[in-house]
């Protein structure tokens, strides 16, 4: 008996049912997702807004803390600046004290002398007489005489090579001038370029004492800063720095030559700073001691110019010019 073959169908009802169910499920998922999508977006937006608000709050807090820190830093910087200024002041005071100690830390035989007798013997003018006396050279003053009515003295010394050759003589004359003034209220020593002998006292007065005078004489022996042999700069600087209406000041110029420019220009410059009042009085007296450049032959032009300039300058400014010769040694 012959067996009947069974036919197989590719697309049966069951297969189509499965396909339709699958598509239906996908459509249902899409429909459901579209329904809940606005709710999800709204929730996400709310979360973002809350996060932004929180971050802004933290930012404001950080900015506030930053302002406080900046204020604290500003105060610390201000306090640091004040501390540095105070430290600088203390260092300057310490330098001054050390300089004073250096000056007075010497033994001086003058301490055993009677200072009152020296003052009476060498400086007879009393304080009342000095206040009444005009601060200029009167006609009856001797040409070689030096008025001693000043309370403050400034030395402007040529420290060039030509002066170093006769430095021992310069030391002697400086000591003699100091001896004319047994006691003054203030001293200062600089070279013709305005360089101070004691740098720690630059721009201030050195209080007079026997120890200070001894220190000046000792320092003078080895003092040799650069000099351009033009005393006009040192004179002008001394007047501009130290003049005060309540002080009687004398400047002593020690030198042997003038290497500057026009002498008339120097006189005009000094006139501008050492002003003459209605009574003909100048702010400071200017004296000068001229050392010979050499002892043989004709003096060089620079030495002759120094003598001519100092003669006129001292005459204009109530002082005296003393020209030394070999016989003066």
Q: Tell whether the model's pLDDT for residue 141 goes beyond 50.
A: no
- Give residue-wise pLDDT tens across range 165-185: 999 999 999 999 999 898 999
Read off the pLDDT of each residue in 52-60 and give the average, rounded to a whole number. Answer: 85
Distance, in Å, from the CA atom of 26 to the CA atom of 305, rounded to the nearest integer, reads 120
Distance, in Å, from the CA atom of 145 to the CA atom of 83, rounded to the nearest integer, reads 53
Q: Tell whether the model's pLDDT for residue 269 goes beyond 60.
A: yes
At 32 the pLDDT is: 62
Is residue 256 a contact partner of residue 303, using CB atoms and an 8 Å limit?
Answer: yes
Report which secondary-structure segment, H or E, holds 217: helix 210-220
pLDDT band at 54 (very low <50, low <70, confident <90, very high): confident
**pTM reported for the whole predicted model:** 0.58
Residue with the bigger pLDDT between 14 and 161: it is 161
> Sign of dihedral through CA atoms 94, 99, 105, 111?
negative
CATH for 111-328, options being 2.40.50.1020, 3.40.50.300, 2.40.30.10, 3.40.50.410: 3.40.50.410
At 177 the pLDDT is: 92
Distance, in Å, from the CA atom of 168 to the CA atom of 325, rounded to the nearest integer, reads 15
- Say if residue 271 is exposed, middle or buried (CB neighbours under 10 Å; 0-12, 13-18, 19+): middle
Q: Tell whether the model's pLDDT for residue 108 goes beyond 80.
A: no
Of the candidates 239, 266, 263, the residue with the CA atom closest to the CA atom of residue 250: 239
Question: How many angstroms separate the Cα of 36 from the Cα of each of 25, 28, 45, 50, 198?
Answer: 17, 12, 14, 21, 95
Q: Beta partners for 190?
A: 156, 196
Distance, in Å, from the CA atom of 75 to the CA atom of 203, rounded to the nearest integer, reads 34
Read off the pLDDT of each residue in 276-303 and give the average, rounded to a whole number. Answer: 87
- Give residue-wise pLDDT tens across range 151-168: 999 999 999 999 999 999
Distance, in Å, from the CA atom of 285 to the CA atom of 318, rounded to the nearest integer, reads 5
Q: Tell whether the model's pLDDT for residue 125 goes beyond 90.
A: no
């Amino acid at each position: 008996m012959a067996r009947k073959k069974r036919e197989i169908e590719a697309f049966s009802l069951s297969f189509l049912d499965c396909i339709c169910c699958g598509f239906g499920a996908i459509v249902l998922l899409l429909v459901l997702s579209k329904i809940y999508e606005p709710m999800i977006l709204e929730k996400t937006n709310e979360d973002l807004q809350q996060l932004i608000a929180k971050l802004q709050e933290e930012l404001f807090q950080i900015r506030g803390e930053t302002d406080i820190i900046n204020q604290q830093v500003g105060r610390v910087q201000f306090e640091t600046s004040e501390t540095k200024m105070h430290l600088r002041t203390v260092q300057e005071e310490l330098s001054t004290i050390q300089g004073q100690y250096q000056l007075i830390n010497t033994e001086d035989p003058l301490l055993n002398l009677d200072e009152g007798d020296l003052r009476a013997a060498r400086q007879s003018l009393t304080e009342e007489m000095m206040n009444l006396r005009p601060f200029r050279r009167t006609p009856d003053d001797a040409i070689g005489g030096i008025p001693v009515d000043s309370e403050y003295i400034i030395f402007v010394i040529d420290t060039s090579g030509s002066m170093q050759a006769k430095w021992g003589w310069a030391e002697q004359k400086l000591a003699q001038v100091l001896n004319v003034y047994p006691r003054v209220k203030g001293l200062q020593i600089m070279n013709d370029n305005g360089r101070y002998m004691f740098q720690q006292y630059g721009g201030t007065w050195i209080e007079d004492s026997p120890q200070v005078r001894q220190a000046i004489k000792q320092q003078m022996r080895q003092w040799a800063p650069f000099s351009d042999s033009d005393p006009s700069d040192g004179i002008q600087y001394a007047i501009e720095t130290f003049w005060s209406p309540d002080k009687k000041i004398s400047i002593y110029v020690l030198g042997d030559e003038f290497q500057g420019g026009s002498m008339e220009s120097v006189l005009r410059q000094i006139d501008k700073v050492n002003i003459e009042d209605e009574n003909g009085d100048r702010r400071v007296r200017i004296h000068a001691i001229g050392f010979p450049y050499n002892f043989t032959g004709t003096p060089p032009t620079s030495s002759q110019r120094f003598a001519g300039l100092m003669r006129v300058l001292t005459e204009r400014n109530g002082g005296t010019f003393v020209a030394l010769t070999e016989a003066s040694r």
